[in-house]
Amino acid sequence: MSRRVLITGAGSGLGRELALAYARRGDCVAVVDIRLERANETCALLAAGERPHLALAADVGSDASMLALRESIEQHWDGLEILVNNAGVASGGAVWQTETLEWERVNNVNLMGVVRGCNLFVPLLLRRSGGLVINTASFAGLAGAPELGAYGVSKAAVVALSEGLRAELHPHGARVSVLCPSFFQTRLTESCAPGQERIRDLADRMMSKGPLSAEQVAAFTIKFSEKGRFLLLPHRDTRYLWWLKRHWPGAYFSAILRFASRVLGDEKPGA
């Protein structure tokens, strides 16, 4: 039976690959992006299903825009089986050098965008039992690594939100997964703020060397979220690092410092 899947940030990158993968399974996808032309591009690539796919524009950082999205969805669907809160923006820099406006910009999208998605669409999901919420965080939300600034904090908050939401939805028969990928090729750094060119270039270089594609991350996400796994770590090295952080925090801290030294070279964080 065709499921109804809403994906934010689906105009490119991981969101597009998730939409393609769900459509190949016969699901009906609402492709949501801040840019309608990108949503239309994704929608045009989707395999046809029992019901037509939807291409919709919405800004997850805006209450009014997300409320309008909810109204649009309800004009087409009377419920929802899968909600994927995927939209986000990139940022970087040392904690003490990141201006408060940048903290607000990043958290308004990366954290509050997930909050808005849950507030408005979890009630639709709960109209039937067995629903699924997938929140896209990042290994940056678990890593505690330097130069992640507001981005790392926003993604850590998404992990914490997802833990609480998981417990809240369990009695309703709905499941939650939180995705924490490491570096893979995407257009995320296009959303870096002006003045963050150094961090953007570092991130682009790391993403170009990533062992997984967006398509592979999407396939991992769908496979293991449907198996009921909560914490999704598609990169093998991060699964080891997460184990190391929990069991040997001192060794993990040393590993993070070595990684930062390789990436930053002779520069100190904040230089």
**Cα 230 to the center of its chain, rounded Å:** 14
Neighbours of 118 (CB within 10 A): 21
Q: What is residue 132's predicted lDDT score, i.e. its pLDDT?
A: 99
DSSP classification of residue 193:
P
d(CA 203, CA 214): 15
User: Residue 160 falls within a domain, yes or no?
Assistant: yes
User: Which of 22, 151, 240, 252 does the annotation list as catalytic?
Assistant: 151
Q: Which two tokens stand for residue 65?
A: 């825009």
User: Residue 259 falls within a domain, yes or no?
Assistant: no
User: Residue 88 falls within a domain, yes or no?
Assistant: yes
User: Residue 143 falls within a domain, yes or no?
Assistant: yes
Q: What is residue 259's predicted lDDT score, i.e. its pLDDT?
A: 80
Q: What is residue 101's predicted lDDT score, i.e. its pLDDT?
A: 95
User: Residue 261 falls within a domain, yes or no?
Assistant: no
Q: What is residue 38's predicted lDDT score, i.e. its pLDDT?
A: 97
Q: What is residue 51's predicted lDDT score, i.e. its pLDDT?
A: 84
Provide the residue range defining the domain that includes 157.
4-240
Q: What is residue 203's predicted lDDT score, i.e. its pLDDT?
A: 56
User: Residue 62 falls within a domain, yes or no?
Assistant: yes
**252 included as an active-site residue:** no
> Which stretches in the chain have pLDDT values below 50?
none
Q: What is residue 8's predicted lDDT score, i.e. its pLDDT?
A: 99
Q: What is residue 184's predicted lDDT score, i.e. its pLDDT?
A: 64
d(CA 103, CA 207): 23
Summarize pLDDT for 229-246 with one digit per residue, the tens: 999 999 999 999 999 999
> What is each CA distance from 209 to 97, 212, 216, in whole angstroms?
27, 9, 15
String of DSSP letters for 233-251: --SHHHHHHHHHHHH-HHH
User: Residue 121 falls within a domain, yes or no?
Assistant: yes
Q: What is residue 135's predicted lDDT score, i.e. its pLDDT?
A: 99
User: Residue 268 falls within a domain, yes or no?
Assistant: no
Q: What is the pTM of this model?
A: 0.92
Domain count, the chain: 1
Q: What is residue 187's predicted lDDT score, i.e. its pLDDT?
A: 61
CATH number at residue 17: 3.40.50.720
| Dihedral angle computed from the Cα positions of residues 109, 230, 186 and 213, in that order, rounded to the nearest 10 degrees | -170
Task: State the DSSP H helix or E strand holding residue 223, giving kind and residue range, or none if neither.
Answer: helix 214-226
Beta strand spans in the chain (E): 4-7, 28-33, 54-57, 82-85, 132-136, 175-179, 231-232
Give the per-residue SS3 of 77-111. CCCCCEEEECCCCCCCCCHHHCCHHHHHHHHHHHC
**Whether 61 contacts 109, CB under 8 Å:** yes
Summarize pLDDT for 163-196 with one digit per residue, the tens: 999 999 999 999 999 999 997 666 665 655 566 6
